[in-house]
Chains A and B, each alone.
Chain A
């Protein structure tokens, strides 16, 4: 089967800093891929390039066979890529329901249909009782769920979650992991998660890609990646790796 997303040696540079250096990776339909790496490894930059907020200086990005290297974010969304944000970006002055309605209007022009779909997705993400609250008044965990619901409302084929679990309590994290599993299983959405917390990514992902200083240093099943020399060095330092 053709890959859903493929990056062909994508490079993104900010002045002298190379945030992504010739990163090549593919995501197959139906996968859950974990994208990990230390702070500043270039994970969010890679997300921004895939979703059109930034454009690579070199290399190509293909989604479903279409070249989206220089495509704007709204077009990429319409092709079937949705994302959430490391720092939450809910529409604060709108209600939770209206936030998701905005997403649903991407696939329908009928308000009643958009509202019904938004209501169902809020139910699905566990925000069923909070539909009429202004988004700004929700807790961080709920805002993150709201972002997921809003992204799902656009009917994505690929969902990119940028640290959807960071800043959450252990209990909230467990619930969020469950939600990601349900999105994958019940809505058949391919998922790529950026995450700091190894304990979250490893059991969740079918495959893990590791970035360090903008370079891809590992790509494979979680149990292989945790034993990889280079990964241990990047995460734990030179001395431990030597032992």
Chain B
């Protein structure tokens, strides 16, 4: 990604919600929030799925672990959201490490099945465990605080600036995730993950502990999902099993990663920017009016994904963007 594109993207992301706020279109701020949240989750999934090459279809478990950890700390002990977020990231990382270690003997489809199985086990636990509120879940009360700073520090935005506040909160978490994963990509971790993906035996032969690094890759993914879960819980003001363990929390980020470009840092970002608004636009156009309630929006949405997957399986980021841009620039000059 070139430096100019990065600067333009950053400015666009910062400025985006301001005209919407002035016009009162807060719905599109929420769309932006969902884009950034799913982009962030996609960047997280890319670590285990794109770099380490292990198909993890159960990261939503750690989205829920994060959401519940921060919500419990907030509701039962009055711990603030940001401190809760740090705790959630640590808890999810550790739980994931313990759960994943025995799975590292499995490969390919069997590893994938095991990650789904853990998600299936998590559902009845979430629905029946009284301590975390069972199927009712937990409600996060809004503690009104005056001022932008107080709202930002408590991650609680309400009223007409709610969507704006959560948009910027998601932008901050997205940027932190992106920066940290850019570091991971260039570090020993990133190299070892890709080595295991390309050839596990050869990786072991040059001294890479494949089990340890698979656990690390999946636990880093889990930590990112936990942070996303905390953000979502405070936005939704509640956590309950069906919401936090929803399958969409893995399928959307995974699809964003694959559509944008699996194994590339910016792949999930591009994927989320394309997929999430399409889903939202489809549901506001095709999902209303004479076709409402027939799922036409989902059918069209699905078709778009199938077309991208069929014609560009390596992702949209792998298209020769640089060449096209140079051509256009020389054509206009």
Contact = CB atoms under 8 A, between A and B. Distances in A.
A111 B188 CA distance: 7
Interface stretch (B29-37, B71-79, B193-201, B226-234): B193-201
Contacts of B203: 91, 102
A106 B202 contact: no
B93 to A, nearest CB: 21
B16 interface: no
A158 interface: no
B201 A102 contact: no
Interface in A73-117: 73-74, 77-78, 82-83, 85, 89-94, 98, 101-103, 105-106, 109, 111
Q: For B191, B198, B204, B205, which residue has the most chain A Cβ atoms within 10 angstroms? A: B205
Given A93-B198, A94-B198, A111-B186, A102 B191 contact: yes
B310 interface: no
A82 B206 contact: yes
Given A101-B191, A102-B191, A73 B186 contact: no
Nearest to A93: B198
A140 B188 CA distance: 27
A208 to B, nearest CB: 25
Contact of B206 (A72, A93, A106, A111): A106
A77 B207 CA distance: 5
Contacts of B202: 85, 89-91, 147, 150
Interface residues of A, number: 29
B23 interface: no
Given A92-B198, A109-B188, A72 B205 contact: no
A51 interface: yes
Interface of B is mostly: helix
Nearest to B199: A89
A19 interface: no
Contacts of B155: none
A74 B205 CA distance: 6
B209 A74 contact: yes
Contacts of A109: 188
A150 B202 CA distance: 10
Interface string A59-78: 00000000000001110011
Given A53-B201, A92-B198, A98 B191 contact: yes
A153 interface: yes
B207 A154 contact: yes
A112 to B, nearest CB: 11
Interface in B148-203: 186-188, 191-192, 194-195, 197-199, 201-203
B187 A82 contact: no
Kindly name the residue among B192, B197, B208, B263 whose own CB sees the greatest number of chain A CB atoms within 10 A.
B208
A134 B206 CA distance: 19
A92 B210 CA distance: 17
A151 interface: yes
Contacts of A147: 202
Nearest to B204: A73
Nearest to A109: B188
A89 B186 CA distance: 22
B206 A89 contact: no
Contacts of B192: 102, 105
A103 to B, nearest CB: 4
B195 A74 contact: no
Contact of A74 (B194, B199, B208): B208
Contacts of B207: 74, 77-78, 103, 106, 154
Interface string A34-58: 0000000000000000010100000
A137 to B, nearest CB: 14
B201 A91 contact: no
A150 B210 CA distance: 17
14 contacts: A51-B205, A73-B201, A74-B208, A77-B206, A91-B199, A93-B194, A93-B198, A94-B198, A98-B194, A103-B207, A105-B188, A109-B188, A147-B202, A150-B206
Given A77-B205, A150-B206, 17 more contacts: A73-B204, A74-B204, A74-B209, A77-B207, A85-B202, A90-B199, A90-B202, A91-B199, A91-B203, A93-B194, A93-B198, A93-B263, A98-B194, A102-B191, A102-B206, A105-B192, A106-B206
Q: Which 3 A-B pairs have CB atoms at the shortest separation, nearest pair first?
A: A91-B198, A77-B207, A89-B202
